[in-house]
Amino acid sequence: MTRSTAAAAKLVAKMTIQEKASLTSGATFWTTKAVERVGVPSMMLTDGPHGLRKQRANFDHLGIGDSVPATCFPPAVGLGSSWDVDLAHRVGAALGVESAIENVAVILGPGVNIKRSPLCGRNFEYFSEDPIASGVMGAALVGGAQSVGVGTSVKHFAANNQEHDRMRASSDIDPRPLREIYLRSFQRVVEDAQPATVMCSYNRINGVFASEDPFLLTRVLREEWGFTGFVVSDWGAVNDRVAAIAAGMDLEMPASGGRTDAQIVAAVRDGSLDESLVDASATRIAARALQAAAAPRVAGPLDVDAHHALAREAAGKSIVLLKNDDRVLPLQPSQRVAVIGAFATAPRYQGAGSSLISPTRLDNAFDELVARGGEQVRFAQGFTNDGSGDAAALRAEAVALAAGSDVAVVFAGLPAALESEGFDRDNIDLPVAQLELIDAVLEANPRTVVVLSNGGVVALPFAQRVPAIVEAWLLGQAGGGATADVLYGEVNPSGKLTETIPLRLEDSPAYLNFPGEQGHVRYGEGLFVGYRWYDARRIDVAFPFGHGLSYTDFSYGDASASLGADGDVTVRVAVTNTGERAGREVVQVYTGLVSASVQRPDRELKAFAVVELAPGQTREVELTVRRADLAYWHINADRWVVEGGDYTIEVAASSRDIRSMTTIRIEGDAVLLPLTRESSLGEVFAHPVAGPMLQGMMAPVLAAFGGAEADAMGGMDMQKMLSAFPIGRIGMLAGAAAGPEAIEQLLAAADAPQA
C-alpha cells in the first residue's frame, strides 16, 4: 500500500456513506468532489492525449468549447510512427508540465486501442495496429507525464475500435484475440508504467458494458496486472451505477448531479452492494486527489518556444518517407518548387473531437518552405477542401505552375470533415478532385512529390507513378516546419509505418466485419489484425507495416539471439549507415513459431529500437524480447502459456524487409490441465500419473490390435488412432478393465496432489 493510499484509507474510514459515495462521481464536467470535512481535495481531469484541453467555459467532450492555449504535439498516429520511446517520454513530460501549470491532476490519455480497421474515425488518436508498438509507446508517454507528478488515463479500456454505435455496440471477441491483441497493449502500459487511472470505454465486450464488467476491471486489470490506480468512466459511459461500482469502476464522469451517488447509498442500505466496495473506490480516488495536492507546483508561464521546438522535433521524427525514386527528395534551395494544395497553407494538424487543442502557435508548410527556398518557391491552391470554386481552373493554374518548376510538391490529404471522433469513414479514398489533380500535375512534371495529411491511412492509387511520397499524417502545431525540414533534408526522415497501407479497403482484415450490425461487431478475423492478416493471406499491400525510408541507407549484419537467465531473449545486430548523411534507423524484431500447436501469425513484432548513425558508422543494436511476450493465451488453461519450440527471430527494416534471421530454442511452460471424463486418450497418455495407469488399462486392447489386426490395418498405430477418444467412453473398447469405476479412480489419482 502506498503512503497516499494508507492516508486516503484513514480519511475514508472517517466518512459517512454519503461522503464516500459523493467521491465516486464528478462535481463538474472536469472535476471531482472534495470532502472538506476530512481533508480530501477536489481534482481536475482534462483531455489529452497530445496536448492539454483545459476548458474555460462551455464544457463539452466533443471539442466544441474553447480551451486554454496549449502545445499541440503530434497526435498518436504521428508520434507512434517515430517508434521513439525516449521522444514519447519527453513529449509525455512536456504534457505533464503543461498540465501541472494549469493545476490539472490527470491528463486523459494516451489512447492505446488497436487500429483494427483503417476506417475507425479515431485512428489518429491511436498508435498502431500492433499491441507491442501501441503498448510500448503508450507506456513511454505515461512514464513521461507521471515523472512530473501528473497522472494519466490510459484509454479506452477496452476493445473500442470503432466510433460507429460506440456507446452501445458489443465487441464480440474470442479470448485469444482479446488477450493477445486488444488487451495486450493496455497490459503493457499498466505493467510497465502504472498509470494513475484507466478510462473504461463506452462499448460492451461480449455483451457486457466495459463500465460494469468485473472480469475486465477487477480480475484482469487489478488481480492479474496489478493496477493500483482508479478506473474512470469515459464521459457518460456509466449505464448502471451500482453494477459499475461492484465491477470496480470507481469514478463516474462527468457529474451526475448526485443522482447516482444516492443510488449507491441506497444499494448499500438495502444490502445489495457491499460497503467495502464503495470504500475501495473512494480510497483509490482520494489517494490520487491527495497525491495531486502534494505534487510539486510547477510555476508558469509555459515556455512556449521550448515546447514548440519539441513539437517540431517530434513531428520531424513522425514523418514517414514512403517512396523516393531517383532521389527526388530532398529538395535543393536552388530548385524552383511548385507548392500545390490547400494543406500547404492551411494545415490539417490534429483530429476533431475531445482531443482538439487550441495551439499556442501554428506553422504552415508553405511559409516554412519559402523561408528556405525564397522566391524559388511558389504556390497554387490546386483544390478546395469543401469542393467550392472552379475545380478545373484551380487545376489548370496548378498544372501551369508545375510545368514551369523543377519539382512539384502536392499537399494532398483528408478534409477535416471526413475524420473525427464520433463517426467512422466510409472508405479510404482521397477526394476525387485531389486524385485528378495529382495525375494532372504528374503529367506536367514527372518530378512530383506527394505530401499527405491524414489521420487514418488512405489508398494511394498513384503510388506506382509518383516518384516520391511523404506520409506526413497529422503532425501537431509544428508540423509545417517539420515538413519543410524533411523536404529540404535538414531532418533526415526516419519514421516508419505502425499500420499497413493496404492496396484496397477490401483487402483489410475487418472488411466483412466492420462496423457490425444490430448492436454487435464480430471480430471475425481473430488474431489476424493488420500485418498479421496480410502476411497470413499473402496479400500484396501498398506499403507494409514497419516500412519507412531515409535519405541514407542502412545495412544489417547477421543477428544473434541468446537466452538470459530470466528467460528473456537478447537479440543483437550490427547496423551500418552506408550512405552519406547521418540518419536514424528503426530496427524491428519479429518472432514466429512454425511448430505451434495453436494458430499463430507468421510473425509478430516483439521489440524495436531506434539507432542513430553517422555516415559510415556501425553500431551494435541490442533488443530484448520478453519471454512473456512469446506466450499465447491458452483458452482451456485460461492463462498465458509459452509453448516450447524453435522460435524464428527476424531482424527487420519492415515486416516485409527481413534483413537477418536466426532461431532460438525456448523451453515451454508446463501445462497440466485437470483431467475429466471428456479428456482425450491422447491427453491422458501424456499425463505423468494417469498416463502410465491408462497404459496398463489399455494394454490388453493395444496388444490385441497390435498383432494380426495391425497388419490388416496397414500397420496403423492404434494408440495414435484412439488418441482423440474421450476417456469416459472407452468402456466399449476396453471392457471391464476400463469400466466407470476404474476411470473414476484414474481421474482421482490424476487430480491428487503430486509429491
- Which residues are the active-site residues? 234
Q: Give me the residue whose beta carbon is nearest to ligand BGC.
A: 61
The residue from 235, 473, 551, 608 that contacts ligand BGC (CB under 6 A) is: 235
Rounded to the nearest whole angstrom, what is the least distance from the CB of residue 234 to ligand BGC in the complex? 5
By C-beta, is 61 or 634 nearer to ligand BGC? 61
Q: What DSSP character marks residue 35?
A: B
**Cα–Cα distance between 378 and 383 in angstroms, integer?**
16
By C-beta, is 56 or 639 nearer to ligand BGC? 56
Task: Taking each helix axis as running N to C, give the angle between helix 184-193 and helix 131-147, from 0 to 180 degrees, rounded to the nearest 10.
Answer: 30
By C-beta, is 248 or 353 nearer to ligand BGC? 353
Q: What DSSP character marks residue 347?
A: -
By C-beta, is 197 or 655 nearer to ligand BGC? 197
The residue from 20, 22, 47, 438 that contacts ligand BGC (CB under 6 A) is: 47
The residue from 20, 33, 61, 603 that contacts ligand BGC (CB under 6 A) is: 61
Q: What DSSP character marks residue 628?
A: G
Residue 183 CB partners (closer than 8 Å, separation 6+): 158, 220
Q: Does 234 bind ligand BGC (CB under 6 A)?
A: yes
Rounded to the nearest whole angstrom, what is the least distance from the CB of residue 61 to ligand BGC in the complex? 3
The residue from 8, 85, 101, 108 that contacts ligand BGC (CB under 6 A) is: 108
Q: Does 155 bind ligand BGC (CB under 6 A)?
A: yes
| Pairing status of strand 583-593 against strand 645-654 | antiparallel
Q: Is 711 exposed, middle or buried (0-12, 13-18, 19+ CB in 10 A)?
A: exposed
| Residues 571-610: x where in contact with ligand BGC by CB under 6 A, - otherwise, as a string | ----------------------------------------
Rounded to the nearest whole angstrom, what is the least distance from the CB of residue 112 to ligand BGC in the complex? 12
CA atoms within 13 A of residue 121's CA, in its CB half-sphere: 22
Rounded to the nearest whole angstrom, what is the least distance from the CB of residue 754 to ligand BGC in the complex? 50
Rounded to the nearest whole angstrom, what is the least distance from the CB of residue 284 to ligand BGC in the complex? 19
Rounded to the nearest whole angstrom, what is the least distance from the CB of residue 166 to ligand BGC in the complex? 8
The H or E element that residue 719 is part of is helix 718-721
Helices (H), 466-525: 479-487
By C-beta, is 116 or 155 nearer to ligand BGC? 155
**Cα–Cα distance between 575 and 512 in angstroms, integer?**
41
Hey, what's the torsion of the CAs at 459, 462, 468, 474, to 10 degrees? -30
> In 3D, which of 163, 157, 145, 213 has the Cα closest to residue 188?
157
The H or E element that residue 640 is part of is strand 639-641
Residue reference for cell 473500442: 160
| Residues 511-540: x where in contact with ligand BGC by CB under 6 A, - otherwise, as a string | ------------------------------
| Residues 285-324: x where in contact with ligand BGC by CB under 6 A, - otherwise, as a string | ----------------------------------------
Q: Does 420 bind ligand BGC (CB under 6 A)?
A: no
* 363 grid coordinates: 506553422
**Cα–Cα distance between 139 and 156 in angstroms, integer?**
14
**Cα–Cα distance between 231 and 234 in angstroms, integer?**
10
The residue from 25, 260, 324, 354 that contacts ligand BGC (CB under 6 A) is: 354
By C-beta, is 122 or 378 nearer to ligand BGC? 122
Using an 8 Å Cβ cutoff, are 368 and 331 in contact? no
**Cα–Cα distance between 227 and 183 in angstroms, integer?**
14
Rounded to the nearest whole angstrom, what is the least distance from the CB of residue 354 to ligand BGC in the complex? 3
Rounded to the nearest whole angstrom, what is the least distance from the CB of residue 203 to ligand BGC in the complex? 11
Number of residues forming the site for ligand BGC (CB under 6 A): 9
| Pairing status of strand 106-108 against strand 632-634 | unpaired
**Cα–Cα distance between 497 and 534 in angstroms, integer?**
15
Rounded to the nearest whole angstrom, what is the least distance from the CB of residue 153 to ligand BGC in the complex? 7
By C-beta, is 110 or 509 nearer to ligand BGC? 110
Q: Does 54 bind ligand BGC (CB under 6 A)?
A: no
C-alpha torsion sign, points 52, 56, 60, 63: negative
Using an 8 Å Cβ cutoff, are 614 and 575 in contact? no
Residue 695 CB partners (closer than 8 Å, separation 6+): 685
Rounded to the nearest whole angstrom, what is the least distance from the CB of residue 750 to ligand BGC in the complex? 49
**Cα–Cα distance between 472 and 479 in angstroms, integer?**
8
Residue reference for cell 499527405: 452
Question: Which parts of this chain interact with ligand BGC (CB under 6 A)?
Answer: 47-48, 61, 108, 155-156, 234-235, 354
